[in-house]
């Protein structure tokens, strides 16, 4: 069982993705923006993070930068409905491991977690 952090400003997305991941047998925690997510990562242990790209307070790119500044290596998946190639490359350069189109389906999330946690 892995512990997965889900960071998204959409309550519906947090709920949906959390339910899918729990149904796969993993534990979840949630945050509604990158700053809250970072605060949790600094206090608790996670095996991976699923994070929305566009959020208030701190977005997904800001979260990736903060992980890098704190020298925290944590498999991070960017969730986004639309991501441009330049933004994708920026995320990869900051340590993102994968991208998942929103909304994430159970099948896509399951496959992605299998690859990420292998």
pLDDT at 63: 96
pLDDT at 103: 77
From the list 44, 52, 55, 32, the residue with the least C-alpha distance to 96 is 52
Domains and CATH numbers, the chain: 3-117 (3.40.50.2300)
52 compared with 102, residue with greater pLDDT: 52
Predicted confidence (pLDDT) at residue 83 exceeds the cutoff of 80? no
Residue that is written with structure tokens 């796969």 in the block: 24
Predicted confidence (pLDDT) at residue 116 exceeds the cutoff of 90? no
Q: What are the residues whose beta carbons fall under 8 Å from the beta carbon of 7, sequence distance 6 or more?
A: 30, 31, 32, 33, 34, 36, 37, 49, 50, 51, 52, 55, 60, 63
Overall average pLDDT of the 18-33 stretch: 96
pLDDT digits (tens, 9 = 90+) for 40-64: 999 999 999 999 998 999 999 999 9
pLDDT digits (tens, 9 = 90+) for 86-97: 888 899 999 999
Overall average pLDDT of the 31-44 stretch: 96
Contact 53, 80 (CB under 8 A): yes
Q: At what angle do helices 11-23 and 106-117 cross, to 10 degrees?
A: 60
Predicted confidence (pLDDT) at residue 67 exceeds the cutoff of 90? yes
């Amino acid at each position: 069982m892995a512990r997965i952090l889900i960071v998204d400003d959409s309550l519906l997305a947090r709920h949906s993705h959390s339910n899918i991941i729990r149904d796969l047998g993993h534990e979840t925690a949630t945050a509604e923006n990158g700053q809250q997510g970072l605060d949790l990562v600094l206090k608790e242990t996670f095996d991976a993070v699923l994070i929305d790209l566009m959020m208030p307070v701190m977005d997904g790119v800001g979260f990736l930068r903060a992980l890098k500044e704190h020298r925290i290596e944590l498999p991070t998946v960017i969730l986004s409905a639309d991501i441009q190639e330049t933004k994708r490359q920026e995320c990869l350069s900051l340590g993102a491991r994968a991208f998942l189109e929103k909304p994430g389906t159970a099948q896509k999330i399951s496959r992605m977690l299998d690859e990420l946690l292998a």
